[in-house]
Amino acid sequence: MENVPVSLSLAFGLITAATVAFLYVAVRRAASSQVQARAKWVVAGALAWLGLQAFLAGSSAEGGVYQDVAAFPPRLFVFGLLPALVGIAAVFATTRGRQWVDSLSLPALTYMHGVRVFVELVLYGLFVYKAVPGLMTFEGRNFDILAGITGPLVAYFGLQQQRMSRKMLLLWNALALGLLANIVIHAILSAPFPLQQLAFDQPNIAVLHFPFVWLPTFVVPAVLFSHLVAIRRLRKVPF
């Protein structure tokens, strides 16, 4: 990781900031004024979580907590990905959480998928500097850039202009969710954990370090959350 240029770290920091901003806008433009008033708390919670993950990724001179790759289950799962997934599940499992979800701005959440294009560019840069395997890039097995390119188009033409049917919007979300699942599975199987199955010559080490740890612990859960919100909203209530 010492060979990775600072520019890639800065770029990913901006991507993460953009993700937070889209979440803020989605809450700020919510249908409920009570939800709108809580927008700053969403940002505060996101920043606190990002700060914790940055600490865990590099909390000692010998390396961060996540860089102990021999631990099982992997610490990145236990302290990073799992709590994020539990938090998302809790939102959808409670009445107040579902009411909050049903009030969010669906166009803002869908525009957020545009950050996936820049994530793919950063991943390619990390591949060049031997911090992730080639299979995690758009030249390998990662086609998530397609969701990033089409996301803003779906947000504008499909949601704001309402030129796409609900079935088409649901189909896009399902396909884009599949693209996300594809890269997440490949990223997990190529990470240097006890369950590694792929890319032994160049494992996925970037996500164990700051700021790229924010990809599996924040950006990916945020993208997942936006898809789940969209699928629920498109099936249940008007957008």
**In this structure, is residue 141 part of a structural domain?**
yes
Structure tokens at 117: 């294009």
Burial zone of 93 (CB within 10 Å; 0-12 exposed, 13-18 middle, 19+ buried): exposed
150-189 pLDDT tens trace: 999 999 999 999 999 999 999 999 999 999 999 999 999 9
Q: How far is CA 132 from the centre of its chain?
A: 17
pLDDT at 221: 98
User: Is 79 within 8 Å of 65 (Cβ atoms)?
Assistant: yes
115-144 pLDDT tens trace: 999 999 999 999 999 999 999 999 999 999
Is 237's pLDDT higher than 70? Answer: no
Closest CA to 52 of 84, 11, 74, 96: 84
| Residues 67, 220: Cα–Cα separation, whole Å | 20
Report residue 217's pLDDT band, with 50, 70 and 90 as the boundaries: very high
pLDDT at 62: 55
pLDDT at 147: 97
Structure tokens at 197: 């199955």
**In this structure, is residue 143 part of a structural domain?**
yes
43-85 pLDDT tens trace: 999 999 999 999 999 854 456 889 888 888 999 999 999 999 9
Q: Which residues contact 198 (CB under 8 A, 6 or more apart)?
A: 133, 135, 186, 189, 190
**In this structure, is residue 1 part of a structural domain?**
no
**In this structure, is residue 223 part of a structural domain?**
yes
Domain that residue 226 falls in: 6-236
Is 239's pLDDT higher than 70? Answer: no
Q: What percent of the chain has pLDDT over 90?
A: 83
Report residue 199's pLDDT band, with 50, 70 and 90 as the boundaries: confident
Query: How many C-beta atoms surround the C-beta of residue 96 within 10 A?
Result: 8
Q: 């969710």: which residue's tokens?
A: 177
Is 232's pLDDT higher than 90? Answer: yes
**In this structure, is residue 32 part of a structural domain?**
yes
**In this structure, is residue 185 part of a structural domain?**
yes
**In this structure, is residue 164 part of a structural domain?**
yes
Query: What mean pLDDT is reported for the chain?
Result: 93
**In this structure, is residue 157 part of a structural domain?**
yes
Evaluate the CA torsion angle 67, 69, 70, 72 in order and state its sign: positive
Query: What's the number of domains the chain is made of?
Result: 1
